Amino acid sequence: MHNHAADHAHDHADHENVLDRAERLCRERDLQFTRLRRDVLETVAGEARPMGAYDIAERLSGGGKRVAAVSVYRALDFLTEHGLVHRIASRNAFVSCGHSHGERDGLLFLICRSCGGIDELTSPAIESQLDQAVTEAGFTPTSRIIEVEGECGACREREGLAGQ
Ligand SMILES: [Zn+2]
Ligand SMILES: [Zn+2]
């Protein structure tokens, strides 16, 4: 299976495993990296597609253990707040952040409608244009996340080959 998130992460020489990053960040900020937070992050990071809170709860439940979706939501809030996962609003689902970028950076998500894969980009050019437009409108953004739906390169290529 083609993993967009991992491919993209490999572009960054300073790539750090998201779990390692979470541990470091929690240590630096004196935060609790609880077992549940770790489990939730590990589950999201293991998927190339965005995952919903209920799917995560389901995945973590079993063997007599029952993880409530509300606990997963709380863990996701924490992870989102610290930039370890991002919420994809159009899917009401979450992806782990494959690379480190500034906490206030604008983000661009490319969501493939064929395979459900997701790629995360930062674009300073789009960000500054967007900032200018919002500022002119007298608006103060709390986050800048742009979601773009379409077809990824791998899917296009596959379809192109199939059509030959
Ligand atoms: Zn990110
Ligand atoms: Zn695709």
Band (pLDDT 50/70/90 cuts) for residue 141 is: confident
Tell me which residue of 147, 97, 95, 111 sits closest to 126, measured CA to CA. 147
pLDDT at 160 over 90: no
User: What is the domain range of residue 75?
Assistant: 13-96
Distance 160 CA to ligand 1 centre (A): 31
Instruction: For tokens 């790629």, name the residue.
Output: 119
- Is residue 18 within 8 A of residue 97, CB to CB? The reply is yes
Band (pLDDT 50/70/90 cuts) for residue 101 is: confident
Alpha carbon distances (Å) from 10 to 3, 5, 13, 94 = 11, 9, 7, 20
Verify that 73 and 118 share a domain, yes or no: no
Distance 85 CA to ligand 1 centre (A): 7
Q: What is the largest CA-CA distance in the chain?
A: 57
Alpha carbon distances (Å) from 118 to 18, 28, 87 = 16, 29, 12
pTM: 0.81
Domain with 26 in it: what CATH number? 1.10.10.10
What does the mean pLDDT of the chain come to?
87
State the pLDDT at residue 16.
66
Which residues hold their Cβ within 5 A of ligand 2, which is an ion? 112, 114-115, 117, 152, 155
Verify that 131 and 151 share a domain, yes or no: yes
Distance 157 CA to ligand 2 centre (A): 9
Verify that 118 and 149 share a domain, yes or no: yes
Distance 24 CA to ligand 2 centre (A): 33
State the pLDDT at residue 134.
94
More confident residue, 162 or 73: 73
E strand map for 56-155: 85-88, 93-96, 107-112, 118-121, 145-150
Please tell me the number of the ligand nearest to residue 104's CA: 1
Verify that 86 and 55 share a domain, yes or no: yes
Q: Which of 30-39, 121-130, 155-164 has the highest mean pLDDT?
A: 30-39
Distance 32 CA to ligand 1 centre (A): 21
Domain with 114 in it: what CATH number? 3.30.1490.190
- Is residue 148 within 8 A of residue 108, CB to CB? The reply is yes
Q: What is the mean pLDDT of residues 3-16?
A: 45
Q: Is 51 helix (H, G, I), strand (E, B) or coil?
A: strand
More confident residue, 148 or 12: 148
